[in-house]
């Protein structure tokens, strides 16, 4: 040690046990009472997303408008960098959720999801989030809201409050690598019960394909499917997006981004969610999602790819792909006459494998088609299941001045 240099190191005698044993996990203690303006919170990764989760009992009792202001304060919105909060300044990381025991005995937990805008002050509560649902399932077990299964597997019946739909989660305690290299607790999510959760029908217009007239673009074909979330599918080439354009390349073109919002808004107006495409930003900010579909590449290594897609929502390009959009896309690809079906390479012996900007999603989906005595076609989703990993990143308290 240099003479005269102060040190904050503590000298320990040989054989003395440190105050904190680094080989041991933290002891479970009673949760401390937060000071005014300071609230218990956790940050979790679920799949390719990251979000801030709160127990319902730790959320201030505020009316909706004030609650959304509080959520913005927690996340640091609408500063596009979210410097003054916990948001990550990206569609994948500006996510917030509330988890609590369900008020309906047919479910285990109620999960309310907030997609928090970072470029604008928008909050979308009209959609589900599959990635964060996997995190919510694990959070509910970690927090003791749901009792952990004795065999290392726990089933969690999630009521998605935004869509009033059942998401069935199977949580396996094993630490498992995900498809894109991350490691965490294994979570299987099944969305088969979510068909029609937004509009009341798997095919809201009754058609596998519709034609819409988009301001400045003209007529294009679109497939609209409502499973897990409401998703509109268009051919990427029809809206000026090349099959290999990156999210950054798309977002760097303001004219193209405005065209995508026009398409999304026109679909919303087509479904009666707003009077015209301009109203979608405020009246249908989250859904419909817009998926840009391309044929699977024939490049080496892509032989097992079923379809390629890029996602657009809340005026942003998804850096990966929505989990809910992934299961919806796998189902849409099995509907004859749909845009995903016409582009997909389906192999009944393999899971549906979707390529997106950050890697792949694999979905197990089965759809059966029948008809009634009048010849009307009915579609039944028997399975819409996929795998995620989730993990707790941190628990602690967040200071929100004024609350």
Q: What's the confidence (pLDDT) of residue 297?
A: 79
Does pLDDT of 15 surpass 50? no
Give the mean model confidence (pLDDT) for residues 27-47.
77
Q: What's the confidence (pLDDT) of residue 299?
A: 62
Q: What's the confidence (pLDDT) of residue 375?
A: 66
CATH superfamily of domain region 37-190+391-400: Diaminopimelate Epimerase; Chain A, domain 1 (3.10.310.10)
- Which tens digit of pLDDT belongs to each residue from 371-391? 777 666 789 999 999 999 999
pTM across the whole model: 0.83
Q: What's the confidence (pLDDT) of residue 91?
A: 85
Cα–Cα distance measured from residue 298 to residue 116, given in angstroms and rounded to the nearest whole number? 37
Do 37-190+391-400 and 210-371 come out as alike in CATH topology? yes
Does pLDDT of 280 surpass 60? yes
% of the chain with per-residue pLDDT over 70: 89
Task: Report CA-CA distances (Å) from 92 to 259, 266, 293, 312, 319.
Answer: 22, 25, 20, 12, 7
- Which tens digit of pLDDT belongs to each residue from 51-88? 999 999 999 999 999 999 999 999 999 789 999 999 99
Does pLDDT of 31 surpass 70? no
Q: What's the confidence (pLDDT) of residue 178?
A: 73
Task: Give residue 30's pLDDT band: very low, low, confident or very high (50, 70, 90).
Answer: low
Class of the CATH domain delimited by 210-371: alpha beta
Q: What's the confidence (pLDDT) of residue 369?
A: 85
Which residue in 101, 131, 42, 188 sits closest to 322, CA to CA? 131
Per-domain residue ranges of the chain:
37-190+391-400, 210-371
Does pLDDT of 50 surpass 50? yes
Task: Give residue 278's pLDDT band: very low, low, confident or very high (50, 70, 90).
Answer: very high
Residues 6+ apart with CB under 8 A from 197: 128, 160, 163, 164, 165, 226, 227, 228
């Amino acid at each position: 040690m240099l003479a005269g240099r102060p040190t904050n190191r503590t000298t320990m005698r040989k054989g003395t046990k440190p105050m904190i044993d680094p080989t041991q996990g933290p002891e479970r203690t009673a949760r401390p009472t937060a000071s005014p303006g300071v609230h218990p919170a956790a940050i979790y990764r679920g799949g390719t997303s990251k979000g801030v989760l709160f127990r319902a009992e730790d959320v201030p009792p505020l009316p909706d408008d004030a609650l959304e202001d509080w959520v913005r304060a927690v996340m640091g919105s609408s500063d596009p960098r979210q410097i003054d909060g916990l948001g990550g300044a990206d569609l994948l990381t500006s996510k917030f959720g509330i988890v609590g025991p369900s008020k309906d005995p047919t479910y285990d937990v109620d999960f309310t999801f907030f997609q928090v805008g970072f470029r604008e002050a928008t909050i979308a509560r009209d959609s589900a989030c599959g990635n964060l649902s996997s995190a919510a399932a694990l959070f509910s077990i970690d927090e003791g809201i749901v009792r952990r299964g004795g065999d290392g597997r726990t089933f969690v019946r999630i009521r998605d409050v935004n869509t009033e739909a059942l998401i069935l989660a199977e949580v396996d305690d094993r630490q498992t690598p995900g498809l894109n290299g991350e490691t965490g607790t294994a979570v299987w999510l099944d969305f088969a019960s979510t068909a029609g959760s937004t509009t009341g029908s798997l095919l809201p217009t009754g058609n596998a394909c519709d034609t819409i007239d988009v301001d400045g673009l003209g007529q294009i074909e679109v497939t609209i499917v409502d499973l897990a979330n409401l998703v509109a599918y268009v051919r990427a080439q029809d809206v000026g997006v090349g099959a290999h354009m990156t999210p950054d390349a798309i977002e760097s073109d303001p004219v193209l981004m405005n065209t995508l919002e026009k398409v999304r808004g026109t679909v919303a107006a087509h479904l009666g969610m707003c009077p015209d495409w301009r109203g979608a930003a405020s009246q249908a900010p989250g859904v419909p999602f817009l998926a840009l579909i391309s044929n699977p590449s024939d490049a080496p290594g892509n032989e097992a790819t079923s379809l390629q897609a890029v996602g657009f929502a809340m005026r942003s390009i998804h850096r990966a792909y929505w989990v809910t959009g992934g299961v919806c896309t796998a189902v849409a690809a099995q509907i004859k006459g749909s845009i995903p079906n016409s582009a997909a390479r389906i192999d009944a012996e393999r899971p549906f494998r979707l390529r997106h900007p950050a890697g792949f999603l694999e979905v197990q989906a089965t759809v059966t088609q029948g008809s009634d005595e009048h010849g009307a076609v009915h579609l039944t989703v028997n399975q819409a299941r996929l795998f995620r990993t989730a993990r707790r990143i941190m628990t602690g308290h967040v200071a929100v001045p004024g609350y």
